[in-house]
Structure 1
Amino acid sequence: MGRFANSKQLAGASWGVLKSDKELLAIPVIGGAVCAVIAAVIGLVVYSTLETTTDAVTNETSKQANPAAVLLLIIGVLVIAVISQLFAGALVAGANERLEGGDPTLGSAFSKATSRIVPIAGWTATNATVGAVLSAVQEKAGFLGDLVVGMIGAAWNIATWLVMPVIIIEGVGPFAAVKRSVMLIKAKWGENIIAQVGFGLLGLLLIVPGVIVFGALTAAVPFLGLPLLLIYLAVVFTVLSALGAIFRTALYRYAAGLPVGAAFSEPMLASSFGAKPAGRR
């Protein structure tokens, strides 16, 4: 089976799980709304702390950043990132409960995720720090440096792909979760990266036609086309977020030697990771 075809099959299996637990779709919707409200509040607070200066020549006033505003902005971004990861953890918790044979609810999913809030916050800070360091290095690097930093970033993303399921299901801290994720991926090494690319291509296949259709409608009837485009993108993002969490959780359970439920077969998940080269341990 082709690699993308296998990702399509896995997406179908994930959709089968999602149809049994449609409430999982509410998690990214609620998460997006909560983050939007918090971002608006933080934006207003930061704006209120900006210093007002007046140009001596034109007498025009303007807002200038100050250390307090910058600090509040950094804290605000981290808070939003933690909340976003918390909702991602709730998706994983709900998917895991279903794959275990349970019947997840919003309450059970959020209860599990909030019980892991400390390691989730630690992981968010760790991932943000790595991203900031790589971005800082990339800004000063030349062409070859960009390639190297890009490869390091890709390797980090692959190595940490199972961190959230590890945190939610095993209850370990962020550093132990990274180590465990690397170990699981190494043990089942193969096309984890292809699985991610396959889901990314699936997302593009859903997004591009909508952008073309609703983009054309927006050009003709802006007041109708733009809202429909935004709604369409929100729906696609919501569904892909839920499918991705189910898929990732199923791959974690397979790699950890846990039952994966009726929707997924072990051969299907094994081909998702690919065969480990002979002689490797």
Structure 2
Amino acid sequence: MFESIGRSIELVKTSWNILMDDKKLLVFPILSGIVTILVVLTFILPLLFSGALMGKAHAGPVLYYGLLFLFYIVSYFVVIFFNTALISCVNAKLNGRDLTVGEGLSAAAKHLPAIIGWAVISATVGLILHLLEERSGLIGQIVLSIVGGAWALVTFFVVPVLVIEDKGVFESIKESFSLIRKTWGESIVGAGGMAVVFVVIGVLGGLCVLGTLFLGIDLLFYAALALFLLMIVVLAVVYYAMQGIFVTALYTYAKTGTVPAAFNRDTIQNAFMPKQAGPGNI
């Protein structure tokens, strides 16, 4: 346990150092967040005025689920597009080159057909899981959460494969599954550990906000709450960028067996728990 925690901290530190060395990588999660907010407003405001947001009973199931599916597609497209741009820049960085933000976006634009295809598939899976959750009890929702987690694991390397190998969406899914099955085994340690670090920071910040309640000073509480919300936004942006760095480094090792110079070899090798020992496995 303590070894996993130490490894997770090492992964966070290395990804952080790379991010601080190339701060423009933060632009992509910021742009993704801004565009996502605009997408949400674009869908919500018309629904509010039409009354369709009250539910499928008022809007009709076809319109309701049709709009929901379209929203899923557009939302996934935005996230995947900027993630593609981010990974393009990270991959160049790990190989000793430097891409501008514009070059990263141009690199993502070259993969538009695959990005759209991956957005449609992701939206379809997301909507199906959403519909099943609506009709499931507690046990069913737990099972569906496990299914969703398995899908996320299988498709862990889809975007790096799509970007770096310039493959189509179905080939990227197949290659991602192959890399996970052959190389990484069944349990993520590194990526989950990185998420835990950020969650812990967020929880500590939340506890500090709650602590101001006991002081009985309203102005202090609202100021602390505002700072906490700002911190959550900053954490989300930094995590998004660092996750892109981490995933690209893991993909590079999974595909080539070469650990990027910025990362410690043992840290990368043990980022995932091995499925079995043998040549080519970690």
Scaled by the length of structure 2, what TM-score is found? 0.84
* TM-superposed deviation, 1:136: 3.1
How many residue pairs get aligned? The number is 270
1:65 aligned residue = 59
Distance change in 2, residues 1:142/1:237 (3 Å): closer
Q: Which moved more, 1:78-87 or 1:258-267?
A: 258-267
* Correspondence list, 1:30-179, <5 A: 30-50=31-51, 64-66=58-60, 68=63, 71-141=66-136, 144-179=139-174
Distance change in 2, residues 1:97/1:215 (3 Å): farther
Which residue identity does 1:242 align to in structure 2? A
1:273 aligned residue = 272
Deviation track 1:225-261 (CA, whole Å, cap 9, x = no partner) reads 3321211111111111111110001000110106443
Does structure 2 retain, via aligned residues, the 8 Å contact 1:29–1:238?
yes
Larger Rg: 1
Distance change in 2, residues 1:147/1:83 (3 Å): closer
Q: Which moved more, 1:29-38 or 1:247-256?
A: 29-38
Which residue identity does 1:269 align to in structure 2? I
Q: Which moved more, 1:209-218 or 1:65-74?
A: 65-74
**Partner of 1:167: helix, strand, or coil?**
helix
**Partner of 2:261: helix, strand, or coil?**
coil
* Correspondence list, 1:14-33, <5 A: 14-33=15-34
Aligned partners of 1:29, 1:6: CA distance in 2, in Å? 28
Does structure 2 retain, via aligned residues, the 8 Å contact 1:192–1:273?
yes
Scaled by the length of structure 1, what TM-score is found? 0.85
Distance change in 2, residues 1:117/1:217 (3 Å): farther
* TM-superposed deviation, 1:132: 2.5
Does structure 2 retain, via aligned residues, the 8 Å contact 1:185–1:192?
no
Aligned partners of 2:278, 2:40: CA distance in 1, in Å? 51
**Partner of 1:198: helix, strand, or coil?**
helix
Aligned partners of 1:45, 1:258: CA distance in 2, in Å? 51
* TM-superposed deviation, 1:192: 4.9
Deviation track 1:205-226 (CA, whole Å, cap 9, x = no partner) reads 2111111223444773254233
Q: Pick from 193, 212, 216: which aligns with 2:207? A: 212
Does structure 2 retain, via aligned residues, the 8 Å contact 1:46–1:73?
no
Distance change in 2, residues 1:230/1:142 (3 Å): closer
Does structure 2 retain, via aligned residues, the 8 Å contact 1:25–1:238?
yes
Distance change in 2, residues 1:247/1:26 (3 Å): same
**Partner of 1:237: helix, strand, or coil?**
helix
What is the RMSD of the two structures over their aligned residues, measured on CA atoms? Answer: 2.7
Aligned partners of 1:271, 1:49: CA distance in 2, in Å? 53
Deviation track 1:50-108 (CA, whole Å, cap 9, x = no partner) reads 47xxxxxxxxxxx9435556644542342122112211222211111101111122112
Q: Which moved more, 1:145-154 or 1:66-75?
A: 66-75
**Partner of 1:278: helix, strand, or coil?**
coil
Aligned partners of 1:257, 1:7: CA distance in 2, in Å? 22
Aligned partners of 1:240, 1:144: CA distance in 2, in Å? 31
1:252 aligned residue = 251
Does structure 2 retain, via aligned residues, the 8 Å contact 1:89–1:165?
yes
Which residue identity does 1:134 align to in structure 2? L
Which residue identity does 1:65 align to in structure 2? A
Aligned partners of 1:150, 1:251: CA distance in 2, in Å? 24
1:59 aligned residue = none
* TM-superposed deviation, 1:145: 4.0
**Partner of 2:256: helix, strand, or coil?**
coil
Q: Which moved more, 1:41-50 or 1:235-244?
A: 41-50
